[in-house]
Structure 1
Amino acid sequence: MSVVEVTIVPLGTGSPSVSQYVAGCHKILEQATDLNYQLTPMSTIIEGDLNRILEVIRQMHDTPFAAGAQRVSTTIRIDDRRDKELTMAGKIKAVTDKLDLVSG
């Protein structure tokens, strides 16, 4: 399982606001019921099979074009760990456990 961060930025939209484009991309994610995801203020984190995630990101990348964007810039960061299960919750727990050790 992989954890992937994706940021999709539509350009050439005529407006500095991009929330409608982000919402369009998230509709694609809502349909991908086999993936877990978390919207953050600056990006989206997706958890699941890497090939499936990349397939969905491709669909998300195309969405702003369909909504009128002239250009789309997509940034992807992949955390693909093979020695043990990798999850969003597990990554956060690993840090918070260490915070508890430091403060306790």
Structure 2
Amino acid sequence: LVGLCVRFLPLMKAEYISIIDSQRTRGLKMESAWDNLKAILPTFMPFLYRAVRRSTETALAMELRGYGRSKTRTFSSSLAMQPYDIALITAMLLVIILSLAIRMTALI
């Protein structure tokens, strides 16, 4: 987990620089220390939004890969055809054949 946090530091720095550049393109002045202080809110809110979005995506990816609360390994079980499945498939085939037969007799 610490390695994941350390890995995100350069990414967050690059995103913050990207946000500052885009704000400068929109006309934000950052020439003096006072300008830098005033620029915190217009740059921090998009940065916070991106950070939360990235952490949510990372958390979802980790959860999908199996990092979670469960300490025991889960295994998938194999499925077999049950009598209920065979009966349902047979009934559906009969309905399809019957509807085709009715349609064919209606066309003649």
Q: TM-score, normalised on structure 1? A: 0.35
Instruction: State the structure with more CA Rg.
Output: 2
Relative contact order: is structure 1 or structure 2 higher (C-alpha 8 Å, sep ≥ 6)?
A: 1
Greater share of residues in helix: 2
Greater share of residues in strand: 1
